[in-house]
Structure 1
Amino acid sequence: MGFKRRREHYNVDTKLVEIYEDLASEKDEIRLKAAQGLVSQFTPDKEPSDDQIKKVLLRLVRGLCSPRKAARIGFSIALTEVLTQIFSVKREDSDITIENVLSLWERQTNAAGGETGQEQRDHHFGRLFGAEAMIKSNILFNPSMPFTHWTKVIEMIFELAQKKPWLREECGWIIYRCIYDLSARDMDVKFVEAALSRLCEYNLAATPEGVAIWLAARDMFPKANFPSKTWKHDDPLDHKERGSLSKIMKESSTEQEDGNKAKSSGVWNSKLHFAWEAVLSRTSDENPKSKNKHARLSFADFWLEVVDNGLFASASSDERKYWGFLLFNKVLNEGSPEHASHVFTKNLVRCLMNQLAVEDRYLHRMAVKASKAIPARVSREPSFAASAVRGLIQTSGTLNFDQATKTKTVEKIVSEANREALQEIVPMLEQFLSRPGTTDEKFASSNRNFVAHLLLSIVRSKATSGDKDSEEDCQSVLEQILSTFVRFAYFKGDGARELVPEPAFTQATQELLRNRINSSLNSLLASQKYASTIPYAVVRQIRDGAKSEEYGKFIISIDDKLQASVKNAFKALKKLSSKEKKGEASSLSAFKLLYSMTVLQVYSGDADAVSMLDELEFCYTKFLGDESSKKEDTSDASDALVEILLSFASKQSALFRRMSEQVFGAFADQVTENGLESLISILEAKESLAGQQEMFDQDDGEDVEEDDEEHDHDNDKDEDMVDVDEMDSDVEVVEAGEGSESESESDEDEEEDNEEDAAEVAAFEAKLAAALGTHRADDDAADSESDADMNDDEMDQVDESLANVFRARKQAADQIKDKKDARENMINFKNRVLDLIEIYVKKCHSSLLALDLLLPLLRLARRSSVKQIAGKANSVLREYTKLCKGNAVPNINGDAEPVWELLRAIHKEACHSGPPAHAAASSQASLLIVKVLVADDKASISDVVDVYASTRKEQLRSTKCHVQPSFFTEWNNWCVSASKQLKN
């Protein structure tokens, strides 16, 4: 019969157990709180016993060997602080000595042969963190402590680094930081000398860690005795050591003189080694060739040799190139401007382009990050733009960096550049335009197009910039860019200049550069900063270049008569400039802009610009000429000016649209009835080929009013088919019905087009068969004589017939294209005119003349088949009615009958069927006229009621009247709000 062993009772300190558990926590705050709680028990005032100290030291050292990463950190912190507290005072009759602690650490972290691989790794980490704790606790540097304790610790660290290369970086970091701590405490140089001696003994000098430790020792302890024959002049950064340094920093095995090798770490780390920071921060900004032979490597030489020819060599692995991109980003983000300007080296830029070009490449994401770091640096430091552009373009050997990499890196850089950087960038790009780096015409044109795009990007960015640079500084850069465009766009380049373009510019490239001038001026006019200065500077440079032939022969031929007109224009421009400097009216700037743009049109070969110059001279004399030449009536000049602006507005160019708007805005208050009628006539024109001929060729002599009546009559016939019940439906019902109606109409149009296409094909086949003397294959009849042989005369006749058939088909296709182009032109023209009318409404809404716009805008909103045009017409009319409030309502000065006629015409227009927006616009226009009439005479309200009553009667009696219910609802609402004012 056996006896149970009696269980012994142990006193367990639950608080201490919790502290040890918290030291392994993943959260920093919990670990620190636990370490603080543990250390507080071992302060000198607590007088801990030796037994307590031994237990806690044993537990902490064992905790360093834990497989949990957080435990190593927490126990290391606790061990550091506990050692500091224990040895902060001298302990009498105590067995706790440094020697005992070292022995405990060595014994507990020793990896025995019978352990598993993971257990051995844990013990190695325990030794590493234990060494760090003892060094940080400063117990080894106490004057009373034997120096052998320090040497023993560093020997164990270097031994671990030598045997386990994958721990070498961490071991090196401990010694590296220790050197700075020794310097801060002003310790004896013997501690550093011992570390350097052991570094060489363990063959670790020729490693990244060894280089970092050596450099730190040279800086912190320059008087120390360094081991001889390790580095030339005892400096790893000596320019003669650049080859060895390159191999060491990329962790390539280096054979030393004694035949031993520094083993590679064997482990790739995605983070940069700390040695790179140590080396980068110590490279000089000077060229070693210009100094004594012992000078250190300059940053430029270091980067070229170690990074570009080392990490980015063609034979380098992707892992080393990854490090290279990390260094590139580091220098761009943190380096000085001098250092950052040297990182765009040949191999690096080539690798950057290759990795950016294809998304599935291994380093593509790193390359994208690097490419974004460049404009980010420029955004913070705009002066860096010049170095970045020079590095990316000149180093890569190709101008189209952005196209090759499918990014907008260079474009973003030049857009962020400041004046200082642009003074270097613009001449560089100008040189690239002249000499694009290739003699092949096709590639040269491609490169020049890209450079022109970059210059345009600069103009656009500066046109919209805030207060980064003064306006004068920006203007000098902008004028320089446009001068570059002018030089290559208008001249053959065979002048006396030093750099004659090679190869010569093609006509297509020169045309593109002229378009770039227009685009640049468009951006500058949008900001209105340089509207009166830069366009004038452009045409003046063209004129001067044509006279002096400095840039070569002028490519535009100008006859004597046109030359005289241009000469008079420049005389007017000179007078305008002198008056503008005196601070006279803003109309001067508008005229100056208009003159400049007209002359630019002349230089671009526009034949219509000749007559425009003569008309401009007439307008200038009327508006701004000398007192002796001015005449009281300027209506003719105003009408001519409107016609000129319409000529510009009709062009497919955003520049001329913007220019016409600016000039029109300056003279809107001087527009006459005839000038306004010119605008209205365009709104009334058809959106077709006939409408285009009416506007530009004047071939169609039909009266506009007759067209209106015809159009309205057609609408009325269609509207007779609408159910009468729809008249009482609200807006939503009308919209739904109209939507379905428009859908059915579009379906019908599509079917009609298909039928027309089929009929056209059938007609063509019939003509073709007739010409060949055959029938279609699916015809029932067969020509028995079709197989008979034909003589030469018959063959010639068949050829001629075929030619006529195909010629007729081509003419039909051309007519279709002409109709389509004409429709697009008229839509564009109406859009431009609506923009001008909107400007007129904003400036002259209180003018009685502006009321003439109401009816044309309403008709356009109803008749136009283009949603954009109809919507814009409604928008302008809505803006007009909003502006006419209170005292801004137009005043009737004289006969009110035309206004009454307009009210009745608006009511007639409201009776036509149209989109919902048209009904709302009709009501707004009617109420505006009512306000005008009532403001002139309150008694007129009675007649206004009669007009509305007449419209109501028409709604009830006629099936052709489709006035909407909202028309009367809004009238009733107005009556309620206006009743109090009318009674007073």
Structure 2
Amino acid sequence: MPAEAPAKHKGSKNASKVVSFRPPQEVLDVFWTLSDGTDEQRVAGAIKLSQLIEKSEEDVKKQILNYCKERLVRGLSSGRKFARVGFSVALTQLLRQYAELDTSDVLSTIKAKLILKGPERKTKKEVGGVYLGRAFAFSTLIKAGRLTQLSGEALSSLVEDLLKMSDKKSYLKAVCNRTIEDLIAQISSTSFEEHVWPKISSKLKWGWNSCTLDRLSLLMTCRDTFPKVTKKKFLMKHWGYPLLSEENDERLMRTILDTPQKSEILLEKILPKMLESERDVLSVWKGLGDKLTEQLQEKRTDVMLQRQLLALKIANKLLSSPGAEVEQILEIMLSPRLAKYIFHSIVKKNDPLAAAADSLCEQFCTKLKSSNYSVYDVLEKIWESEAAEVDKKKSNKINFNSNNFTRILDLLSQPEAEKYVEFLVSYVKGKEWPVVAIESGKQDKQLEYCVRQLQHIASSQLTNNTIQSTVLTFLLRLAFFQVNKTTKSIQHCEKCINFGAEDLHQQLCESAFYKCLDALSTLKTNQQSRWGQFSAYLDLMYHLAEYVQTLLTAESLKPIKEWPNEIKTEWKKLFALITKIKETAKNDKEASYNSAFMLLFLFLGFQFFTDHKMAVELLQDVYLCYEKASKGQKEKNDDEPPWVEVVTEVLLSLMSLNSHFGRVITATVFRSISSYLTPGAIALVSAVLIPKKSSADDAGGVLVEVDADDGDENPSDDEEADEPSEEESDEDKSDEEEGMDEDVDEEEEEEENVDENFRQSVKQALGEAAVDDDTSGDDIEDLPDLSDSDMFKLDDMLAEVFRLRKKGGGKKAREEKRKETANFRIKVLDLVEAIVKSERCGDFLIDLLKPLLLLMMENKPESIALVKRSTAVFKLLKSRAKGLKDTVHSVTDQKDFFKELLELAQTVTDATHLKLTSVACMIVMNLEFTGQHTGDSSAALSQCVDLLKETLVNVINKKQSKPSLSFFSSLIDLNPIRFKELSPMLVTSLQTETTKPHSKMICCSLLASLAKKSNNVNDSDKESLEKWMTKAATYVTQFILALDRAALQVMLTKDVLTLAVALQARTDIFTQSPFDVSVKKHLMDVKSAFNTDLRRLANKVISAIERSQSMSNKRKSKQKGNKRTNGDAPTEKSPAKKKRKL
């Protein structure tokens, strides 16, 4: 029972007797929940409060209810963050649930507790809190449905109070008007007419003067709920009728601008009402939305941003209207100022205007998809809108390169896309285009838009053979050829549209041409298989080659960059060979290498336009390779390398080009010849990927090559390299002396341009011995000679100046070279990925692991992207490693490489790199050898385990300190049963007395890893597991029983207890706990001396022993119960049974 305080004396300030009541503590605690926490917690608190009141005894229930009422009302004025919200929810809940809370009494409490005048003067913040509290209190009465219990006078007084608060505090207008709207929804027509309407009509008579959206919303609620009271005559006199007509748009616009919080009421109530009154979306947009987008110079940037955002929200709401037609929506979208926002070029992250515009465009696209309106017509209207702006000299209103325009472009059907392509091509050709006003200042920008759109359509899902042929031949003609005389017999040559060699439009067309070819080479569609897409791409490339041949042989055209005769000859030879290959490739078997060569020839052919010298040089090698491949020659006894290795070298050369198109084509060709690859070809790829040895190499130089360029880091090496060796022959010296005279003569004729800073450094080093620039030859001869000691000093100073200059100049070049090398290796990894994805992944797995591992261990700043790319390829290789077969390498190769990996593990220090090395070891061990003379795969696995065992023994016996324990643990965790041969050796080492504690720690840790459960364990494996685990459990028992609180080996004890926990987890091996009660008892005695980690492990061991004992006792009791149930009653015929029971 809650305690009651004694009554106050009559002589006190309060003359009446007041009894102070304190409810139970659990009720008081709920009030903290109501003022803090989340919305869910506050709702739960309100429910809990009502439940606590309901459960209380009847004699105090009324007191608790009254206390809660007064405290909740008083708390509504609190300035705490969520107090008003939580307390209003709780008060509403109590008013709904307890009818004994009289409404008039609650009103009296509100007026008594939430007062402005009092003995103490309130601050401005406290006054505002009281006003808000009263607004919230009135709102709770309305939400609780208590208005029907109020008298007419009380109802009128409540409305009057709300209107007064609304007038006094501007920030309360929205709350008060909203509360009155809720009140109107609950009262009868009579109550409204007699008690409410007289109060609010005086305010509504002001009409549009100083009107806000919340007051307009109140008027609309009155008119909709009680139209007989809020008469049409009243509206016509004070507001105009219809209320939301076009004539009132200007007044409504002013109301919107005068209302701080405008979005919700406008969008959710006023706009739908305007559309219901037979106004179309276009008239609403013109009356409101379009005016909000106007640029006003006197307005601040943040104010304009808010206006523009509201305009986009209005447009979004109008678009979602069910009755909105596409034509009207399109007219809204293309209104000049709104179009600028929609088709924007904003790239700033999280820009609110761009996000709203993107949302609007997305909704428009959804509406367009669901309608039958032509997307082509939409695009045409967009161009018309841009043309109209051009005529008004207001350019750049629509950005045709924007993502939103591209989003609409992607809605085209293929027939519409073909028509639109003709639309764009005709404009670029200079034909009459009725929707575009051609002006010199705007034509260039529009031409750029057209070319980029052609590129997008040709390389997107809209494309087909017709579009690809039209666009690519058009771009090729503009990028590389000029028309001297028009001809209709050749496509795209009917007009003399020409660009110069360095013209921006020519560069744009060239870039678009190669980007299209690049995108189409990897474009995936659902209509064709992978081989079908590849064949279609080859046909397209050949068609373009035919078009080039037609343009080259035509007299009315010429290349923009003149071709020498030898290049034209090379092209003829190349085109003839391509034509021959196309005719001979008739089935997939021939196409396996024919298609690869054809693609390579076509790519090199198109390189004639950019770098014909490089293309011709590479073609000579590819010609020979194709000749060998087509004849099917066997190069076993040939001194020349196999053709596939030469092609690989060519592909690596192409990878060095600064061209993504070349990179994609190279990977495609390499993938096509994967069935012909040899270890030699893979070795060429690996050679360029393997990092060079450096001082910061995590691999410690293992598996890596020495970089000849690293000598540049040390200037002294360069100086030594410049000195002639003593073994240099006299003939070489004489040859040099003969050539020196000629070099001196040439140097005398040349005038060197020496860096002025370097010149000053040399002068400073020479000091007084320096000669001025204006000193003549005769004056130089008159200068005194320097002594030998002075000369030696000058030599040292000059050498230092030259050394610093060389070092400073070479550092930047070396950095650039390293970046280029890293980028080149990233490209070459595409070839590695192609092999990993091919059927021959197993054949070259050993060759690929080496470069991938070393690349992932790079730690230079310029290698970050390279490490990420190599890691991705390594993960792909790991995912495909299961079940791979090697028909190329032998078991000896596997053993040698596994040994190299173990050597690498000895040098690596980073934990992540050690784990990667362990994964590589497991991948090699899982490899199956199926080729001739490769050896038995099981014997290969045994060899790898033996090597690992030998290395582990050396680590345990301290013959070597590395690899570290984490390497062995990571490797064993991948498949513990694979390394079961290690267990007996580890247990023996553990039991040997001479084994050092650190070595025992290693043994315990690895045995704990080996004890983990694994799949596919056969009976023989279980026997071996049981054998070594029993021995290990014996050692653990002895170790624990020998633990001494005074001489505790913390680290070793931790590893032993970890092993104990691992052994106890193997319930499939041990039916009972491997440790008895003595172990439990001793651990409980000594664990008080343990640290936190040891104590946690000891508790696990103790808990496992207790569980095992409990289960054992349950089994025994169950067995006894079965015997009593199933056994016969004791008789003289069963004396043996009686004896057993006794």
TM-score after normalising by structure 1: 0.56
Indicate if the aligned counterparts of 1:601 and 1:609 stay in contact, CA closer than 8 A. Answer: yes
- In structure 2, the partner of 1:832 is 827
For residues 542 and 127 of structure 1, do their structure 2 counterparts lie closer, same or farther at Cα, with a shift above 3 Å needed? closer
Structure 1 residue 377 and structure 2 residue 364: aligned? Answer: yes
- In structure 2, the partner of 1:485 is 475
| Alignment counterpart, residue 405 of structure 2, candidates 380, 401, 410 | 410
Q: The residue matched to 1:172 in structure 2 has which SS?
A: coil
Indicate if the aligned counterparts of 1:569 and 1:617 stay in contact, CA closer than 8 A. Answer: no
Partners of 2:332 and 2:475 in 1: CA distance: 32
For residues 709 and 82 of structure 1, do their structure 2 counterparts lie closer, same or farther at Cα, with a shift above 3 Å needed? closer
Structure 1 residue 678, shift from structure 2 partner: 1.9
For residues 393 and 503 of structure 1, do their structure 2 counterparts lie closer, same or farther at Cα, with a shift above 3 Å needed? farther
Q: The residue matched to 1:492 in structure 2 has which SS?
A: strand
Partners of 2:222 and 2:308 in 1: CA distance: 35
| Alignment counterpart, residue 679 of structure 2, candidates 647, 666, 673 | 673
Partners of 1:119 and 1:304 in 2: CA distance: 23
- In structure 2, the partner of 1:338 is 327
Q: Which stretch shifts more, 601-610 or 944-953?
A: 944-953
| Alignment counterpart, residue 520 of structure 1, candidates 510, 516, 519 | 516
- Which amino acid in structure 2 is aligned with residue 537 of structure 1? L
Q: The residue matched to 2:365 in structure 1 has which SS?
A: helix
Structure 1 residue 544, shift from structure 2 partner: 1.7
Indicate if the aligned counterparts of 2:671 and 2:835 stay in contact, CA closer than 8 A. Answer: yes
For residues 517 and 815 of structure 1, do their structure 2 counterparts lie closer, same or farther at Cα, with a shift above 3 Å needed? farther
| Alignment counterpart, residue 390 of structure 1, candidates 364, 374, 383 | 383
Structure 1 residue 567, shift from structure 2 partner: 1.7
Indicate if the aligned counterparts of 1:619 and 1:641 stay in contact, CA closer than 8 A. Answer: yes
Structure 1 residue 890 and structure 2 residue 886: aligned? Answer: yes
- In structure 1, the partner of 2:669 is 663
Partners of 2:577 and 2:776 in 1: CA distance: 69
- In structure 2, the partner of 1:648 is 654
Partners of 2:388 and 2:104 in 1: CA distance: 63
- Which amino acid in structure 2 is aligned with residue 568 of structure 1? A
Q: The residue matched to 2:657 in structure 1 has which SS?
A: coil
Structure 1 residue 976 and structure 2 residue 979: aligned? Answer: yes
- Which amino acid in structure 1 is aligned with residue 826 of structure 2? N
- Which amino acid in structure 2 is aligned with residue 833 of structure 1? V
Alignment of 1:168-207 (within 5 A): 168=239, 172-173=242-243
Partners of 1:489 and 1:936 in 2: CA distance: 60
- Which amino acid in structure 2 is aligned with residue 386 of structure 1? L
User: What whole-Å deviation, never above 9, does each CA across 1:428-484 have from its counterpart, x for those lacking one?
Assistant: 55466566988779x866665555455555566x35xxxxx7xxx655555554445
Indicate if the aligned counterparts of 1:386 and 1:417 stay in contact, CA closer than 8 A. Answer: no
- In structure 2, the partner of 1:563 is 571
Alignment of 1:280-359 (within 5 A): 328-334=315-321, 335-343=324-332, 347-348=336-337
- Which amino acid in structure 2 is aligned with residue 651 of structure 1? L
Structure 1 residue 836, shift from structure 2 partner: 1.7
Indicate if the aligned counterparts of 1:64 and 1:129 stay in contact, CA closer than 8 A. Answer: no
User: What whole-Å deviation, never above 9, does each CA across 1:917-961 have from its counterpart, x for those lacking one?
Assistant: 555555555555556589706567776676557757987999999
- In structure 1, the partner of 2:227 is 135
Structure 1 residue 816, shift from structure 2 partner: 6.0
User: What whole-Å deviation, never above 9, does each CA across 1:830-867 have from its counterpart, x for those lacking one?
Assistant: 22333322332343566455434455555666688545
| Alignment counterpart, residue 644 of structure 2, candidates 638, 658, 680 | 638
Structure 1 residue 675, shift from structure 2 partner: 1.5
Q: The residue matched to 1:517 in structure 2 has which SS?
A: helix
Partners of 1:542 and 1:252 in 2: CA distance: 66
Alignment of 1:454-493 (within 5 A): 454-458=453-457, 462=460, 476-477=466-467, 480-492=470-482
Q: The residue matched to 1:135 in structure 2 has which SS?
A: coil
Structure 1 residue 936 and structure 2 residue 936: aligned? Answer: yes
Q: The residue matched to 2:242 in structure 1 has which SS?
A: helix
- Which amino acid in structure 1 is aligned with residue 830 of structure 2? D
RMSD: 6.6
Indicate if the aligned counterparts of 1:861 and 1:870 stay in contact, CA closer than 8 A. Answer: yes
Q: The residue matched to 2:559 in structure 1 has which SS?
A: coil
- In structure 2, the partner of 1:554 is 559
Identity among equivalent positions (%) equals 15
Indicate if the aligned counterparts of 1:325 and 1:370 stay in contact, CA closer than 8 A. Answer: yes
Partners of 1:968 and 1:123 in 2: CA distance: 77
Q: Which stretch shifts more, 20-29 or 59-68?
A: 20-29
Partners of 2:210 and 2:856 in 1: CA distance: 85
Partners of 1:124 and 1:849 in 2: CA distance: 78
For residues 327 and 645 of structure 1, do their structure 2 counterparts lie closer, same or farther at Cα, with a shift above 3 Å needed? same
Higher relative contact order by CA 8 Å / sep ≥ 6: 1 or 2? 1
Indicate if the aligned counterparts of 2:475 and 2:509 stay in contact, CA closer than 8 A. Answer: yes
- Which amino acid in structure 1 is aligned with residue 383 of structure 2? R
Partners of 1:707 and 1:338 in 2: CA distance: 71
Partners of 2:495 and 2:651 in 1: CA distance: 40
- In structure 2, the partner of 1:200 is none
Partners of 1:452 and 1:962 in 2: CA distance: 62
Partners of 2:139 and 2:355 in 1: CA distance: 34
Indicate if the aligned counterparts of 1:423 and 1:477 stay in contact, CA closer than 8 A. Answer: yes
Partners of 1:418 and 1:440 in 2: CA distance: 33
- In structure 2, the partner of 1:768 is 759
Partners of 2:843 and 2:963 in 1: CA distance: 27
Structure 1 residue 656, shift from structure 2 partner: 2.5
For residues 609 and 453 of structure 1, do their structure 2 counterparts lie closer, same or farther at Cα, with a shift above 3 Å needed? same
5+ residue gaps, structure 2: 1-99, 111-133, 164-175, 431-435, 488-492, 526-532, 695-700, 718-753, 781-800, 983-1016, 1022-1142
User: What whole-Å deviation, never above 9, does each CA across 1:35-79 have from its counterpart, x for those lacking one?
Assistant: 9968xxxxxxxxxxxxxxxx9888878887762424643554456
Partners of 2:555 and 2:159 in 1: CA distance: 81
TM-score after normalising by structure 2: 0.49
User: What whole-Å deviation, never above 9, does each CA across 1:800-844 have from its counterpart, x for those lacking one?
Assistant: xxxxxx999999998666544443333223223333223323435
For residues 314 and 631 of structure 1, do their structure 2 counterparts lie closer, same or farther at Cα, with a shift above 3 Å needed? same
Partners of 2:346 and 2:875 in 1: CA distance: 51
Alignment of 1:206-225 (within 5 A): 209=245
Partners of 2:428 and 2:769 in 1: CA distance: 68
Structure 1 residue 533 and structure 2 residue 536: aligned? Answer: yes
For residues 901 and 56 of structure 1, do their structure 2 counterparts lie closer, same or farther at Cα, with a shift above 3 Å needed? closer
For residues 406 and 486 of structure 1, do their structure 2 counterparts lie closer, same or farther at Cα, with a shift above 3 Å needed? closer
Partners of 1:485 and 1:399 in 2: CA distance: 30
Partners of 2:272 and 2:913 in 1: CA distance: 76
Partners of 1:711 and 1:670 in 2: CA distance: 31
Indicate if the aligned counterparts of 2:148 and 2:187 stay in contact, CA closer than 8 A. Answer: no
For residues 842 and 709 of structure 1, do their structure 2 counterparts lie closer, same or farther at Cα, with a shift above 3 Å needed? closer
Indicate if the aligned counterparts of 1:923 and 1:970 stay in contact, CA closer than 8 A. Answer: yes
